[in-house]
Structure formats: structure tokens, C-alpha cells
Amino acid sequence: MTEQAARRGRPRDAARDRALLDATLAVLSESGYGGLTTAAVAARAGVSTATLYRRWPSKEALVVAAAAAYAQELTAPADTGTLEGDLRALLRDKAASMTGKEGGVLRSLIAEAAHNTPLAEVLTNTFVAPVRRRMEEIAQRAVDRGEISPVEHADLLGDLVIGPMMSKFFLTPLLPDEVDTASATETADHLLPFLLRAVGGKGPA
């Protein structure tokens, strides 16, 4: 077997893939999509641009892969045993994902997605759809426990989480001390009574 054939048959280095995806998210957070270059990502990851392009053929493909990987690492759904507890966990989770470094990444991706269809599809599938599914599951568990009556159009409940969070953290000018973890948690808790009422639940205990 020739050396070239051996290289083609060698499995990809998962650690190197991870380093490149992490570097992509770091550069996105610092420079936005427009300021991201494959050279900057490769340098941050400590590899050559040739190594990067063997994995992803373009900047767009790299960013799409990084966005998908990032979304998979967000906090896993929690079953707290109560409607109030489930909604609080979801709201705090989403508030945390829209602030700090995570918020910077999402802001960059959303801005680019307005005129980038593949990236918009990734955002819908990996950020929006999971929230909608999670809200449907939360509502169904609450129905099964007898906490609320069946909710009509439960598939729309996720937008009651996404919309206020986007308005607060992405569309409203905020001071630096208004986007830390504590303030994100406070915002989530302020939204909780409204979301509870929307699904027919009682106010927070």
C-alpha cells in the first residue's frame, strides 16, 4: 500500500475535529461570522488550513458543523416532577444559552442566518425545534400528572420561550452587568409566572 493510500484510509482524528469546532466557536464569539476566517480558526486550533479543508470544504460548512455540535452540548432536558420545576429549568437553560460566550455565538449565527439558508436550517433544527419539542413534552407530562388540562396547539408553546428570550437578550440594549449568569437566571424566573399561566398552570409556589 502506498503512503498516500494509507493516509486516505486512516480514520479522522476526533480530538482534532473537536479542536477545530471549538476554535470556530471561539472565533465566532470574538469576531462574528463576517470576521471569521478559516486561517484564524486553523491557527487557533494549532493545525494547518489544509487539515481544516480536508474536513470541511468551506467556511460555511465549518460553521454549520460547529453550530450543530454546540447545540448538542446545551443542557439536557430535565424532568423535575412538576410543571413549575420543568418550566423553570427550561427558562433558565435558555437564558443561560443566550448570555455570555454562548450568547455571542448565537448572536453571530442568527445575524448570518438571515441571508444564509443552510445556516438558518441548522439553527431551526438544532436550536428552535428542540425547544418546541421540549415544551410539548413538558406540557404532556403535566397533563399526565393531572396538573393541567390538555393544551391546544402545544407545538407553539416553545415560541413563548424563544420569543421573550430573544427580545430581552438580543433586541434590547443591555448593560454588561445585565447579561451575567445571575441576571439571566433572574430574567428566567420573572418569565415563569407568565409561561405557567399560558399553559394553564398555577403561579409559582
Contacts of 22 (CB under 8 A, 6+ apart): 45
At 146, the pLDDT band (50, 70, 90 cuts) reads: very high
Say yes or no: 89 and 186 in one domain.
Answer: yes
Segments forming the whole domain that contains residue 26:
11-59
* Mean pLDDT computed over 115-136: 87
The string of pLDDT tens digits covering residues 75-87 is 567 789 999 999 9
113 shares a domain with 29: no
Q: How many whole angstroms separate alpha carbon 60 and alpha carbon 54?
A: 14
Do 104 and 192 lie in one domain? The reply is: yes
pLDDT score at 177: 53
Clarify whether residues 53 and 78 are in a common domain. Answer: no
Nearest of 116, 105, 18 to residue 58 by alpha carbon: 116
Report pLDDT for 6. 42
Provide CB contacts within 8 A for 103, sequence distance 6+.
97, 169, 170, 179
Residue pair 138/87 in contact (Cβ under 8 Å)? The answer is: yes
Predicted local confidence at residue 118, as pLDDT: 84
How far apart are the C-alpha atoms of 59 and 201, rounded to whole Å? Answer: 46
Residues 186-194, mean pLDDT to the nearest whole number: 92
Domain count, the chain: 2
Q: Among candidates 170, 178, 43, 187, which has minimal Cα distance to 113? A: 170
Q: What is the mean pLDDT of residues 161-175?
A: 82
CATH number of the domain that residue 17 is part of: 1.10.10.60
The answer to whether residues 151 and 157 touch, using CB atoms and an 8 Å cutoff, is: yes
Across residues 138-150, what is the average pLDDT? 95
Per cent of the chain over pLDDT 90 is 41
Q: Is the pLDDT of residue 72 over 80?
A: no
Q: Say whether both 87 and 188 belong to one domain.
A: yes
Over residues 39-54, the pLDDT tens digits come to 999 999 999 999 999 9
Quickly list H helices, the chain: 3-9, 14-35, 38-45, 49-55, 59-72, 83-97, 100-113, 117-123, 129-144, 159-166, 181-198
